[in-house]
Structure 1
Amino acid sequence: MTRSPIPLPESFLARPIAHRALHDVAAGRPENSRAAIHAAIDAGYGIEVDLQLSKDAQAMVFHDYDLRRLTGETGPIQQRTSVELGGVELSYGNEGIPTFAEVLQIVSGRVPLLVEMKDQDGAMGPRTGPLEQAVASALAGYEGDVAVMSFNPHSVATLGELDPGFALGLTTEAFLEKDNPLLPAATRRYLRDIPDFDRVNASFISHDIHDLRSPAVAKLKAKGVPILCWTVKSKASEVEARKIAHNITFEGYVA
């Protein structure tokens, strides 16, 4: 039996969403850090975080595949255990990389939580499973408003097969070659039209602000699909984005 998509909770449209939490390195709050999460909660914003997989199959709140940009260490995050990653200090802060389970305990339903699973296949393909299982396990019993998305439709479909009980969405963009140099041209052409929306039981998208006038976005919006967007970096850009998007993910200014 085909399940109906779970609607995106209204709370995701009621307040701006802090991209990778309310980060500010000048204030000692790196992206996706506990400090940035606490700051977003205190300010009443929704929170967006990213997930990568550890060597011991735990969901870690971290954006990149490699440790280099965000820490003083190098190498793929998947080559470290969750305990080891907890001891890797984030640059411009004084804390290690948090697990998703710990972040859920911090948020505890106080604000809506938008979760992006980073592609683990490497080419938006079907090699999925461990991260999606870790996400479903961590969220079992969580009572706050949460929604999970990914650029990789296979990842969203895999999570949906676990019957997680929360809204699923697709992170979307124009998939230009300059932004996705490792993706085959055929894959980029396919993904930019958002053809998997219904197949993966999605109920929303989060689309690149620079491509909000895409015909694929217009088609979904006309069907009543909630449109979030990423990443708004100024009040002027927010005004323009809100002409199309129902809500924004922001950073670098006070939304």
Structure 2
Amino acid sequence: MRVIGHRGCPTLAPENTLAAFRAAADRLDWVELDVRRCASGELVVFHDETLDRLTEATGRVADATLPELRVLRVGDSEESIPTLSEVFETLPDDVAVNVELKESGLAAALADVVAATRHEALVSSFDADALREVREATALPIAYLCSTDWDGAIRVATELGCLALHPHYDLLSAERVAEAHDAGLELNAWTVLDSETAERLREWGVDGVIVDDPTIGTENSKRGAR
């Protein structure tokens, strides 16, 4: 079962920062990150639509230019908001990346960034239109994110030609894991907060877990076993 560092390793460093991804790369084979576009056009790695929760600034990320974002610090740290290109450059080539698109219209820019790297990449989103754009513009594998409506999620993921479905772990049961696999979908469950849940999902046959704490579920991870 793969173990994917949710926004890097936020238990060790502020989420979606280069420090978090460096920490994750020392421990895990996969990381997950969030991507949106800033006002000057670059793809930046930041979860929220607004800056309010994680920085001293307010307002939408989409309304700030990259130079304006550069001067901000994430949480109480000295870490800044990175671009997607910077994250790929920071990670070792053998660390795979789950890129979650927070909005549509990013497929072409994403393809340009990924083409310049050697990393394995998987693109996920709650936004079916964003995934459809990726499917039409690139050969990158895609995954549909869901937190409710299991039957609808299976249908959307199948119609989009997804490699995987990324459900909240509370949606899953042994029967649903089997149903997804029968539909040709891998399952990466989010966000798993304890080892007991991770072990139950492993027993059910879930393919991957997305975690905040890199010690959860890493018994069979290459890096986690070190």
Matches within 5 A, 1:75-224: 75-118=59-102, 120=103, 128-129=104-105, 131-163=106-138, 165-174=139-148, 192-213=152-173, 218-224=178-184
Partner Cα distance (2:73, 2:152) in 1: 36
Q: Which amino acid aligns with 1:241?
A: L
Tell me the CA shift for residue 244 of structure 1.
4.3
Q: What corresponds to 2:3 in structure 1?
A: 16
TM-score (norm 2): 0.87
Deviation at 1:133, TM superposition (A): 2.3
Unaligned runs of 5+ in 1: 1-12, 121-127, 176-188
Question: 3-state SS of the aligned residue for 1:196?
Answer: helix
The answer to whether the aligner puts 1:42 opposite 2:16 as a matched pair is: no
Alignment-derived partner of residue 224 in structure 2: none
Cα deviation code 1:180-239 (max 9, x no counterpart): xxxxxxxxx9x8443222332211111101111397754322234211110001111111
Paired letter, 2:212: E
Any runs of at least 4 consecutive aligned residues in structure 1 with deviations exceeding 6 A, and if so which?
A: none
- State the alpha-carbon separation in 1 of the partners of residues 29 and 115 from structure 2: 23
Give the aligned CA root-mean-square deviation in angstroms.
Answer: 2.1
Structure 2: stretches of 5+ with no match in the other structure: 217-226
Structure 1 residue 92, shift from structure 2 partner: 2.6
Aligned length: 215
Q: 1:65 aligns with which of 28, 32, 49?
A: 49
Q: Distance in 1 between matches of 2:6 and 2:35?
A: 13
- Cα distance between partner residues in 1 of 2:153 and 2:29: 30
What residue is the counterpart of 2:188 in the other structure? 228
Whether the 8 Å CA contact 2:29–2:94 is kept in 1: the answer is: no
Matched residue SS, 2:19: helix
1:45, 1:108 → 2: CA distance?
10
- TM-score scaled by length of structure 1: 0.77
Aligned partner of residue 210 in structure 1, secondary structure: helix
Percent identity, please. 26
Q: Match of 1:136, SS?
A: helix
